[in-house]
Structure 1
């Protein structure tokens, strides 16, 4: 049974999106009890504790590679492991989990945009059109469909923080290409997880000396273990397995499931109301990402035929 599941790529990818979809919801649930840095630090501590046997073994075998690529691994730890999730847990203090997951779904478009700006990659007109459609969807979400807010640039601070989180993830996704093939993917994951944890120790100590912690009961610990195990470890392992089986182009479409699962979780667990602007904005974001995914897959097929 487990072997059969391990050879079902789309089921694996759906599982990864399912767990990632609950990340912002769990962060929103914890926002009333714990400050964001502490949430992020606890998440990393749980992840490192579980992965420590693997990280120690990888350190013994990949010590020279770690030393050679330390600066890049440190950058990846700061952008992908620390900043992305920390900004999510900070953002949900001011915005809804539904908004957070909808805005998170724009990450593929920011990856394309920053690749063009930072790496000089050429973008076809289709990509710019898809970017414009999705950014319009983002504006509809963060302004609640109000043209007055849009024209007056009145945005929710939590939504803006979430946009920064997406940009951070895009930077991580772009620069991880530079180290892919030089280190095993599991080593990159383990080393960046460990580096992120070490960097967060002083930050968490400073935060706890300034901000008080609310009541942390069984429900809060359950949420902490959820984000420490499922979005932080299980999703990455499921995603890597699925991508290895069908390739990144086909796998990327499954990322569109994240806001779907996130919205469902927020509705049933947090009781958040799904609004018309969120539906309209989410559809625009989905259309933009779909155009990008379709164009990317088509370009890959053309390259292969050539």
Structure 2
């Protein structure tokens, strides 16, 4: 694992937050049309159909897909089953601002999970970088006005997002565990398809519980179909492939700071859809978040 941030590594870690910002907007847009667990199941079913022709190495004998089933079951649970389901569930009751605020704690959770469960030491520069990065997120959320931040109220959806953030921290650290066969490690599509296949089993379980408890019928439309295609191709297949490659280069501790670009991208995308120009506080937030990345990644 190389801690140095090269331009290609920066690109690998910066594109996923942009796609995930779009995922949050779409998830909020279609929340009345499809239940959250069902949305996650449909999204990853489409993603697996895309990945299977690309990752045929996962189907070959000796790929390790069955031999290492515990590892891939855990990866699928944390990265596909829990994180995305909880995020869509959070958007049912919480505002995008609150969800983004809770998710801004990603660097802290990543450091805690790494220290407690993977024996990775926490260095002062990482703490300083986390403070800068979270300050940048807060600037976006309060739009440069501290009074807006003080008026925020937490609801049940925010708790779901905390759990989602913790799940993503475990997922990112588990990506580095050297337990994959060379065939899977060298083939991003096969590696991701394996995770998604196991993750779909968890997603199907969660969806079954959702429909058994209380779930409304799916309101099919062209908008919903286009939304499903987008979240399957962009925030799922492409973002996860790039994130995995970036994490293997820079490590989860550094990658966590790039996640905090998501609220900034979300604000800019929202501004674009609303026809509004970016404000000065967007520039300040970007400087603080990037400052956190630079400080945390220094040798």
Q: TM-score range by the shorter chain?
A: 0.7 to 0.9
Give distance in 1, aligned partners of 2:175 and 2:246.
18
Deviation at 1:163, TM superposition (A): 1.8
Deviation at 1:132, TM superposition (A): 5.4
Deviation at 1:61, TM superposition (A): 4.7
Give distance in 2, aligned partners of 1:122 and 1:242.
20
Q: Does the C-alpha gap of structure 1 residues 158 and 133 become closer, same or farther in structure 2, counting only changes over 3 Å?
A: farther
Question: 1:76 — aligned with what?
Answer: 75
Q: Does the C-alpha gap of structure 1 residues 97 and 295 become closer, same or farther in structure 2, counting only changes over 3 Å?
A: same
Question: 1:26 — aligned with what?
Answer: 26
Deviation at 1:12, TM superposition (A): 5.9
Question: 1:263 — aligned with what?
Answer: 267
Instruction: Using structure 2 for the length normalisation, give the TM-score.
Output: 0.76
Structure with the higher helix share, 1 or 2: 1
Task: Say how many residue pairs are matched.
Answer: 279
Match of 2:230 among 221, 226, 229: 226
Give distance in 2, aligned partners of 1:155 and 1:286.
27
Q: Aligned Cα RMSD in Å? A: 3.8
Equivalent residues in 2 for 1:63-212, closer than 5 Å? 63=63, 65-131=64-130, 145-146=149-150, 155-179=154-178, 182=181, 183-184=184-185, 186=188, 187-209=190-212, 210-212=214-216
Equivalent pair of 1:36/1:89 in contact (CA under 8 Å):
yes
Deviation at 1:77, TM superposition (A): 0.6
* DSSP 3-state at the match of 2:92: coil
Deviation at 1:80, TM superposition (A): 0.9
Give distance in 2, aligned partners of 1:254 and 1:181.
26
Equivalent pair of 2:87/2:160 in contact (CA under 8 Å):
yes
Uncovered stretches (5+) of structure 1, i.e. residues with no partner = 1-6, 300-306
Q: Does the C-alpha gap of structure 1 residues 193 and 155 become closer, same or farther in structure 2, counting only changes over 3 Å?
A: same
Please list the CA deviations of residues 168-210 of structure 1 after superposition, one character each: whole Å capped at 9, or x if unmatched.
Answer: 1001111221136644162331101011112322432342343
Uncovered stretches (5+) of structure 2, i.e. residues with no partner = 1-6
Deviation at 1:33, TM superposition (A): 1.5
